[in-house]
C-alpha cells in the first residue's frame, strides 16, 4: 500500500474519519509500510500546523490513531522489526 502524504486539507478525511488504524509518521522524507495500518506521512517542513498540533519536537515521530483518536506516540528512529513488535 502506498504511503499517503497528509496536509491540513486532507488530514481529517484520511486520519480522523478512517475506518482502519492509521500510523502517521512525522519526518522530512521517507516511506513506511506496515500491515493492517493505513500509513501516512507528514512533511514537517511543509505542515507546521500539524506538527504543532501533535507536539512533534523530534524526528521521526510516529503517532498512532484508532477511531480518529491518538492511541500512542513513538519518538525516535527504530528498526522495522522493533516497530512491528510495538504494533502487535
Q: Where are the domains of the chain?
A: 4-87
Q: Is 3 helix (H, G, I), strand (E, B) or coil?
A: coil
> Which DSSP category does 16 fall into?
I
The pTM of this model reads 0.88
pLDDT digits (tens, 9 = 90+) for 34-84: 888 999 999 998 999 999 999 999 999 999 999 999 999 999 988 888 988
pLDDT, residue 1, reads 67
* Second-level CATH architecture of 4-87: 3-Layer(aba) Sandwich (3.40)
> Which DSSP category does 2 fall into?
P
Question: Which residues fall within 8 angstroms of residue 6, CB to CB, at 6 or more apart?
Answer: 14, 15, 24, 40, 41, 42, 47, 50
pLDDT, residue 22, reads 97
Pinpoint the alpha helices (H) of the chain: 11, 48-53, 80-87
pLDDT digits (tens, 9 = 90+) for 4-31: 999 999 999 999 999 999 999 998 666 7
Amino acid at each position: 500500500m502506498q504511503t499517503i502524504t497528509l496536509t491540513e486539507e486532507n488530514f481529517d478525511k484520511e486520519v480522523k474519519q478512517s475506518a482502519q488504524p492509521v500510523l502517521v509518521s512525522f519526518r522530512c522524507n521517507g516511506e513506511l509500510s506496515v500491515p493492517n495500518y493505513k500509513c501516512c506521512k507528514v512533511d514537517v517542513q511543509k505542515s507546521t500546523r500539524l506538527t504543532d498540533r501533535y507536539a512533534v519536537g523530534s524526528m521521526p515521530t510516529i503517532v498512532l490513531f484508532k477511531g480518529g483518536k491518538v492511541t500512542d506516540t513513538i519518538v525516535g528512529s527504530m528498526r522495522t522489526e522493533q516497530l512491528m513488535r510495538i504494533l502487535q
